[in-house]
Amino acid sequence: MVPAGQSGKLVAKVHTRPTQNGSLKKSIVVALDDPDTKSLNLTLSFTVEAMIEIRPRPQIYVNAVAGSAAEGRILLHRTDGEPLEITEIRFDKEGISLAALPHDPKAAAQPGFKPQEGDIWLTASVGADAAPGQFTGNAWLTTNHPKMKEMEIPVTVRLRPVMEVRPERLQLWIQEGAGAQQGTLFRMVHNREEGFEVVGIDVEDEGLVVATLLDKGESRAHSIRVSPTEAITAEDVVTPRATQIIIRTSLEDFPEVVVPVTLAGRRPISRPLRPQQPEKRVVPMPLPTGTPNYG
C-alpha cells in the first residue's frame, strides 16, 4: 500500500534460462485502486549475458530427407574469454550421434558464424540408413566452466520420407440426410525435388470412393481428390468401412504408393429446442386517483 502523495518501491524478479543471451523485454501489469487509473503497464528492458554463449540458438535441429546423411551444428563460446572444453556428452538415441569438436581456425568459414579460437562446435549427425520420423530429446554436456559445469541442449531430428503423402491416411464422413457429399484432397510430394508422373489410380473398393488426379504431366508434387461415390449413404457406413487408393507412378523406386481411406457415417447435427416461454400478459396500470375514465 502506497499512501497518497508518497512513493513506494516495486521489485520484480525475472527468471532466465542458463542458455539465454542478449537483450530481453518483459511486461508487468500492476493493478491499482485509483478510480482514474485501474492499472499500469510496465516494461522491463535488460541484457542477459550467458556464461556459455550458443549460436545461432540453444538447440540443434536437423531437417533432412531419409536416405541421405545429414548434420546440424551449433557453436559454443565461453564469454569470459577462456577456452571451452566439453569433457562428456550424455545422449542416448540410436541412429543419432553427437560430437564436440574444437574450432579449427584454418577451416572454411561457416555462413552466419564468427567462431573464435577456443570455441566448440557441437554437431548432431544421422546416417543414410536412418528411418523416416521425428525425434526430440536432450543432450547433457559437462564443461570446464567453473560456474556452469553442466548444460542441457535440446536436439530435434526430422527425417522426411523420399515420397511423402500429406495426409498419410484419409477419413471421409458421410452426413445423414445431406445432399452430395464433399471429398478431400491429399498431395504426393517427392522431397528430393525429382519430377514424376502419375500414370494411373486404382481404388480397392470402387463402390466406396472415387479418386481424381487434379494435375497431369511431370511434377515433384501432385494433388488427388477423393470423394464418396454417389451411391454411398450414411446407412452403408454405420460401421466404418476401409479401402485403399493405389497410385501408380513413373518412378522406378516408387512404382506404387498406397493411401488408406476410411468412410464413416455421421448423424445430422441437431440443436435442442429452447423451452417455450409462457405468454406474458400485459396488465393495465390503475389510473391515478381523480383521473376521469373515458373508456
Confidence bin at 168 (pLDDT 50/70/90):
very high
Q: Per residue in 33-64, pLDDT tens? A: 777 778 878 887 877 777 999 999 999 999 99
Q: Hey, how many other C-beta atoms are within 10 angstroms of the C-beta on 182?
A: 12
Q: How many residues does the chain have?
A: 295
The phi and psi torsions of 235 (rounded to 5 degrees) equal -65, -25
Domains located in the chain, CATH noted: 53-160 (2.60.40.10), 163-266 (2.60.40.10)
Alpha carbon distance 103, 116 (integer Å): 7
Residue 271 has pLDDT above 80, yes or no: no
Q: Per residue in 236-252, pLDDT tens? A: 898 999 999 999 999 99
Q: Per residue in 86-105, pLDDT tens? A: 999 999 888 899 999 999 88
Q: Per residue in 141-158, pLDDT tens? A: 999 999 999 999 999 999
Residue 291 has pLDDT above 60, yes or no: no
What sign does the CA torsion over 44, 47, 52, 55 have?
A: positive
Q: Are 49 and 147 in contact (CB under 8 A)?
A: no
Q: What is the pLDDT of residue 272?
A: 60
Q: Hey, how many other C-beta atoms are within 10 angstroms of the C-beta on 165?
A: 19
Q: What is the pLDDT of residue 270?
A: 60
Q: Per residue in 207-245, pLDDT tens? A: 999 999 999 899 999 999 999 998 888 888 989 999 999
Q: What is the pLDDT of residue 63?
A: 93
